[in-house]
Amino acid sequence: MPETRLWFGSALLPEGWADNVRLTLADGKILRAEAGVVAAASEERHAVALPGLADVHSHAFQRGMAGLAERRGPEGDNFWTWREVMYRFLDRLTPEDVEAIAAEAYAEMLETGFTRVGEFHYLHHAPDGAPYANRAEMAERIAAAAAQTGIGLTLLPVFYAHANFGGLPPAPGQRRFINDLDGFAALMDDSRRATATLDNARLGVAPHSLRAVTPDELHAIIAMVEGGPIHIHAAEQTKEVEDCLAWSGARPVAWLLDHAAVDLRWCLVHATHLTAAEVGRLAASGAVAGLCPVTEANLGDGVFPGPAYLAAGGRLGLGTDSNVQIDAAAELRALEYEQRLMFRARNVLASAPGASTGQELFSRALAGGAQALGVAPAGLQAGAPADFFTLDTDHPALCGRKANAMIDSWVFAAWRGAVDCVWRGGVKLVANGRHRDREAIAQRYRGTIARILA
């Protein structure tokens, strides 16, 4: 098996920063990580390496409407009015459109340091709501976009059946999402096939939310994936919490903890509105909170109870969700900034005096992200996927920085171009901050969007 050797002036290893690091790669994985070694003349060299992050929650198609829901409507814009705009946008998308938009989104993810995406995929059917002749047409388009860009894919086919708690019939705008249990089982089988040929792909399952599935459906769907990740939107909006209380007497996260075996396989996306009791129980479950701070700010969701959750030992991953902006550093920054605004304090999510906010959040998102997407353990260590990126130490925001100051400056002070090269599965996909197929992907994307918006 051919081996590749790369050498870095410094790298963030699981035990912390190390200097003069050689990574030996084979078969898409890290075979060895050695510190304190002299570079061989033949080795490709870079200054600073970080492990690639997982983007635990993406609706790729929404990238195509980024920035188009920022104009005030007739009255009281909120999450639900945004959702109407989003439904109108997705109504027109063809499978080709979805593939082109997803490829652009995934290339952007790679260019900012995300090496794997959890695609929470619910746009299954044709515009009239009928399944495509190939039921997994859309899932195959997502897989194709992952294959073209080289990003690692954890496909999360979404089960969606109802407009709200209590099994209400779906709304017309939701017709492209809807399956019955038999149809969904068939979709899962086809999705398994669609991802089988992709390098290192994973298949999970995603009941959309407690609004969209009944308890019986929830349990039936969970049984359809053997050992894979289980993702669900939970407690993102206060209205959802109120509706859940009216339906069941319990809040969404408490309901899930009471009625589903929430454990390390689970990712509760957003989990924004939690009581102190829910914070403790969610943390103790070992599940990952899939936080999407840029989208949560954009949609006006609320602020996650970060300090209490971390103090309780809770696990987190980061997602770009609506993809209104795709930027790993921006998600880390937004997560800390919402806490600063809330608590009128600084370095709120750092654990102890002297701790680096950027490095600690990065390491938490790395571990939680890999867990949530079914690829743990992550990190620059033997046996882990060869997924990592380098920073441009000539970038003005990064010059003269070392170790944790480098991460802090990347997260809080840098702008586009700070990420230099990105490898996924041992393949170099991004160089000088640009995806290797950047122009072709962008050109197709521009054509697609021009047609949609015409």
146: which 2 tokens?
Answer: 């992952």
The nearer residue to ligand NGQ, 175 or 428, going by C-beta atoms, is 175
Query: In 150-303, where do the E strands start and end?
Result: 152-159, 202-203, 206-207, 230-234, 266-270, 288-291
One of 270, 273, 395, 435 is an active-site residue; which one? 270
124 binds ligand NGQ (CB under 6 A): no
What mask of x and - would describe binding to ligand NGQ in positions 161 to 200, judged by CB under 6 A? ----------------------------------------
How many Å apart are CA 288 and CA 80, to the nearest integer?
A: 25
Among 124, 125, 233, 281, binds ligand NGQ (CB under 6 A): 233
59 binds ligand NGQ (CB under 6 A): yes
The nearer residue to Zn ion, 278 or 321, going by C-beta atoms, is 321
Interface region with Zn ion, contact rule CB under 5 A, candidates 35-43, 145-153, 318-326, 358-366: 318-326
The nearer residue to ligand NGQ, 110 or 235, going by C-beta atoms, is 235
Phi-psi region of 170 (alpha: psi -120 to 50; beta: other; left: phi over 0): beta
121 binds ligand NGQ (CB under 6 A): no
Task: Please report, to the nearest 10 degrees, the dihedral formed by the alpha carbons of residues 444, 447, 453, 454 taken in order.
Answer: -160
How many Å apart are CA 290 and CA 365, to the nearest integer?
A: 9
Q: Phi then psi for 415, rounded to 5 degrees?
A: -135, -170
Partner whose binding site includes residue 83, from ligand NGQ, Zn ion, none (CB under 5 to 8 Å by kind): ligand NGQ
The nearer residue to ligand NGQ, 59 or 438, going by C-beta atoms, is 59
* Helix 95-112 × helix 328-343 angle, to 10°: 70
Q: Phi then psi for 178, rounded to 5 degrees?
A: -85, 130
Reply yes or no on whether 273 is catalytic: no
The nearer residue to ligand NGQ, 325 or 359, going by C-beta atoms, is 325
Contact criterion met (CB below 8 Å) for 184 and 159: yes
Among 321, 336, 387, 408, binds ligand NGQ (CB under 6 A): 321
SS3 state of residue 220: helix
Q: Which of 49-69 are b and which e, b meaning 16 or more Cβ less than 10 Å from the residue's Cβ?
A: bbbbbbbbbbbbbbbbbbeeb
The nearer residue to ligand NGQ, 236 or 408, going by C-beta atoms, is 236
Give strand pairing partners of 25: 4, 30
Contact criterion met (CB below 8 Å) for 19 and 33: no
251: which 2 tokens?
Answer: 């809040």
Interface region with Zn ion, contact rule CB under 5 A, candidates 319-327, 332-340, 389-397, 444-452: 319-327
The residue type of 156 is L
Going by the DSSP 8-state scheme, the letter that residue 21 receives in this structure is: E
SS3 state of residue 202: strand
How many Å apart are CA 327 and CA 112, to the nearest integer?
A: 5
Contact criterion met (CB below 8 Å) for 263 and 222: no
273 binds ligand NGQ (CB under 6 A): no
Among residues 374, 339, 381, the alpha carbon closest in space to that of 360 is found at 339
236 binds ligand NGQ (CB under 6 A): yes
141 binds ligand NGQ (CB under 6 A): no
Q: How far is the CB of 296 from Zn ion (least distance, A)?
A: 10
The nearer residue to Zn ion, 82 or 388, going by C-beta atoms, is 82
Reply yes or no on whether 270 is catalytic: yes
The nearer residue to ligand NGQ, 137 or 296, going by C-beta atoms, is 296
444 binds ligand NGQ (CB under 6 A): no
One of 321, 327, 387, 408 is an active-site residue; which one? 321
Q: How far is the CB of 291 from Zn ion (least distance, A)?
A: 12
Q: Which residue is nearest to Zn ion (CB)?
A: 321
Q: How far is the CB of 196 from ligand NGQ (least distance, A)?
A: 26
331 binds ligand NGQ (CB under 6 A): no
The burial of 172, by beta-carbon neighbours within 10 Å (0-12 exposed, 13-18 middle, 19 or more buried), is given as exposed
Among 29, 83, 219, 259, binds ligand NGQ (CB under 6 A): 83
Q: Which residue is nearest to ligand NGQ (CB)?
A: 59
Interface region with Zn ion, contact rule CB under 5 A, candidates 83-91, 314-322, 381-389, 440-448: 314-322
Length of the chain: 454
Q: Which residues bind Zn ion (CB under 5 A)?
A: 321
Q: Which residues bind ligand NGQ (CB under 6 A)?
A: 59, 83, 209, 233, 236, 295, 299, 321-322
Tell me which residues are annotated as active site: 270, 321
